[in-house]
A and B are shown apart, each in its own frame.
Chain A
Amino acid sequence: MTATAPAPTTDEAVLVRGITKRFPGVIANQDVNITIRSGTVHALIGENGAGKSTLMKILYGVQKPDEGTLTVNGKQVSFSSPMDAIAAGIGMVFQHFMLADNLTVLENVVLGAEKLHGIGDAARKEIQTISEAYGFELDPDELVEDLGVGERQRVEILKVLYRGAKIIILDEPTAVLVPQEVEALFGNLRELKRSGHTILFISHKLDEVLDIADDITVMRRGRTVGEARPEGTTKHQLAEMMVGTELPSPQTEESTVTEQVLLEVRGLSLVNERGRALLSDIDLRIHRGEVLGIAGVEGNGQAELVETIIGMRRATSGTIELDGSEISAWDTRRRREAGVGYIPEDRHRHGLLLDAPLWENRMLGHQTLEPSVKGMWINKSGAHQDTERIVQEYDVRTPGVDTFARALSGGNQQKFIVGREMSSAPLLLIASHPTRGVDVGAQAAIWEHIKDARRKGLAVLLISADLDELIGLSDRIEVILRGRLVAEFDPQRVTPQDLGTAMTGGGKEEAS
């Protein structure tokens, strides 16, 4: 694109050697070694919390390593800010887009790189050139807020190319994309590779990694634990490397499904202010002792479905019946009182008061229920005792119940939430990505608790992006696509491939 980018002089674009990074109480990266060949797509895979993000921030100069060296194009480098990384020809596409909605594509792209082509027509022309070269189809003068997710991602890539980056880091770029967009992105990436760019692709979606990568590096618990080539490597092998030898996988037990319907949703639709349908005509029923899994690519209406059932959003039409009572006119509190437990997707935003002690968090969502309250009064000792119970029964590792929720690790926060939501003898438990971002130990425990809930006769609505989790825990799986339930599977017989096909709207003909 620009003449300023240095031509690769060696075969290795990036060499990471012995990188270690410590945070208070945590070792995020320990002796990390990666070799990235020039002109390849290199995938970095690992579970949440494996240290991928920290490593990327180090590569991009956001954070400094405590130990170890970085070598870019044969030269050892030390970045103290992203500017240094950019100058060395490294560009980064963040998972959470770094775009200002209220600025135009042009403004977003030239920001920080005004010296290259100014902020006027020369810049506009350059953007159009790049956009056409890679088929991005972006209008420089459109406001970013009017763009879709896929377009925004292309703006991010454009930003990087505009600066003449030859090495591009993409942080979980497919997490927010629908399948068509993933295909388009991969097309763009292959195009970039052909024009000599090196791509570091971070992901935990193994299918995608095998599809696009030339080399694969696996990280676990802050270390690089293995390398692989996609040829001759199976998903299972990669998965084992990612989680270690333990590889827990949930196993369904004997069915506890009864005839009694606890949750019945009929014709549920949700239209947002702009008139877009987020949910269309959803019908589902969950019986006592049944786990209903919802599979789907993220952003296809799962969050909206949960929030409509819990009452945080009001359905545009349709009915929701809980144990025979029509609840769609009720507010969230009344639904909770009636026996709806809720394990939210984003526990920091929706599940906890981070700066309040655990015993007060025990009350959250149960403000009107014993033992935390008596009438209109808070029952402090009751809440204290019951929090102690949860800490014991659910193995929440905490110094005490007066500790602030913020101080706990993700897994312990989540175990606490599960314990809390199981406390008030609920009829229905909504578990939204219950094991996201928790360690393997907590994951196994949470799976156990969900099975336990099922045994106790709860109806469980399980939303997860982890197909193994869905298959292992559910009695039935519905697939959601663009706000509609499009297929139903029996987890005893379904394969992840079948689910994947249905999730992406593909027909049954796809070869596995």
Chain B
Amino acid sequence: MSTVQMQREGTQAGRVGPSYTWVWLTLGVLLAISTVRTLTGAHEIDSSGSLQAAIIATCPILMAAIGGLWSERSGVVNIGLEGQMILGTWGAGYFTYYYGPWQGILGAALLGAVGGLIHAIATVTFGVDHIVSGVAINIIGLGAAKFLAEAYFADLSSDRGTGGVKQLVGLERPPSFTVPGVSEWTTDIASRHWFVVSDLAAVVAALTTRMSWVTLLVFALVALTAWLLWRTSFGLRLRSCGENPQAAESLGVNVYRYKYIAVLVSGAFAGIGGGYLALVASSGFVTGQTNGRGFIGLAAMIFGNWRPGGILAGASMFGYTDSLPLRSTATIHALLLVIAIGLFAFAVFKLLRGDRGTAVVVAVFGGLFLLWFLVTKEVPRDFTSMTPYIATLLVLAFASQRLRMPAADGQIYRKGSAG
């Protein structure tokens, strides 16, 4: 029994926290990027500025994705994330103007939770199809934010912010911090462009320079989510509603209550994502600010296989590509080489695993990216904004067998159907 148990505990840990696979993967990515950077001279690829921009772009997507995780783990598909996020941007604007930035974040969560509440009433209480309700919430969220902006922001003008029919800008930002000493030291090392060392320094510099407290909050919420959902009985109950609500009910779990909680939290998190977008990533509320990030969040959640660790990876990747249009075209061009190297590495991995078919296909794609890198000088910016979507489609198409969504996700559950 004990040997079995030890093996199991290994896999248990792998299901939640980081394991050696992640360490090796991170190291590999670091090496690849560093090599490409040195070869091409595209130092912007992981300069601390780039990484900071990437982190700022990652957070809204990450919050939406984690919000999606809450909802879907309880068995409710939430494609209303976009609408809830939009509501969050408005809430952030309103509450920051009148009460201050931290209240703004709270307001964003509140407005997002309202969107979540509507979704919960429709899907849980009335058993409406989850997709249908989500579509309606996206319509309502978009309309409500526009309408409310025009009603409440149009005439605002003071030192706390400047309003307009479609915006409320110049708001006070949530505080940020710089770790003295560490920040300067690492920024200096990063600017020397040493192999690997500078790359690591850039990461540290990005995390210690003008770092918003809200960013820390976001990562704390991700960690909190992982702990709550996988390490507490509350989480077990919530997840059981997404896996087999009949079983959960037969054991006395109040399925409706957990679904309500999950969908409310989901909306609140998406709302915080919207709030981050308005207050940290930009200087205020603008209509249309989310620009589909709720959907990217959904994509990141699927990409991350409904797991916090995977979602973090997915959101980071999508956030990085989201921040790319700000970079020089040469940087984006250099990334082609990174992708090619990554694909070749994956092909070798597959080959070692004995899956020759996949290895060949992946290697061919790697070759194509290499060719693309070699024969062109730059990559159209539009292509980078497609990256999250195409990546998700590819993951779904080629790794869908490995994806494991909650078994009862999206199914309509009615109380009393146990037994």
Contacts and interface: CB of A to CB of B under 8 A. Distances in A.
B321 to A, nearest CB: 31
B8 A100 contact: no
Q: Is the interface of A mostly helix, strand, loop or mixed?
A: loop
| Chain B contact residues, majority secondary structure | helix
Interface stretch (A42-50, A79-87, A242-250, A492-500): A79-87
Contacts of A107: 236, 240
Interface in B403-419: 404, 406-407, 416, 418-419
B253 interface: yes
A252 interface: no
B407 A82 contact: no
A110 B243 CA distance: 15
A279 B407 CA distance: 28
Interface stretch (B188-196, B214-222, B244-252): B244-252
A112 to B, nearest CB: 3
A448 interface: no
A103 B240 contact: yes
A311 B103 CA distance: 63
A82 B243 contact: no
Interface in B226-264: 232-233, 236-237, 239-240, 243-244, 246-253
B418 A98 contact: yes
B158 interface: no
Interface string A423-456: 0000000000000000000000000000000000
B1 interface: yes
Contact of A111 (B4, B237, B407): B237
Interface residues of B, number: 29
Contacts of B243: 100-103
Contacts of A86: 251-252
B133 to A, nearest CB: 21
A62 interface: yes
Contact of B239 (A57, A103, A110, A113): A103
Contact of A114 (B5, B236, B247, B404): B236
A139 B252 CA distance: 24
A115 B237 CA distance: 12
Contacts of B11: 141
B246 A119 contact: no
A102 B247 contact: no
B12 interface: yes
A111 B232 contact: no
Nearest to B234: A114
A398 to B, nearest CB: 27
B9 interface: yes
A98 B8 contact: no
B236 A141 contact: no
A318 B7 CA distance: 42
Interface string A494-511: 000000000000000000
Interface string B384-419: 000000000000000000001011000000001011
Interface in B313-359: none
Residue of B4, B8, B232 with most chain A CB atoms under a 10 A cut-off: B8
Given A100-B239, A100-B247, A107-B240, 5 more contacts: A62-B416, A62-B418, A81-B252, A114-B233, A119-B236
Interface of A: 53, 56-57, 60, 62-63, 81-83, 86, 92, 94, 97-103, 107-108, 110-115, 118-119, 124, 128, 139-142, 159
> Shortest 3 CB-CB distances between A and B: which pairs?
A112-B251, A114-B233, A141-B8
Interface of B: 1, 4-5, 8-9, 11-12, 232-233, 236-237, 239-240, 243-244, 246-253, 404, 406-407, 416, 418-419
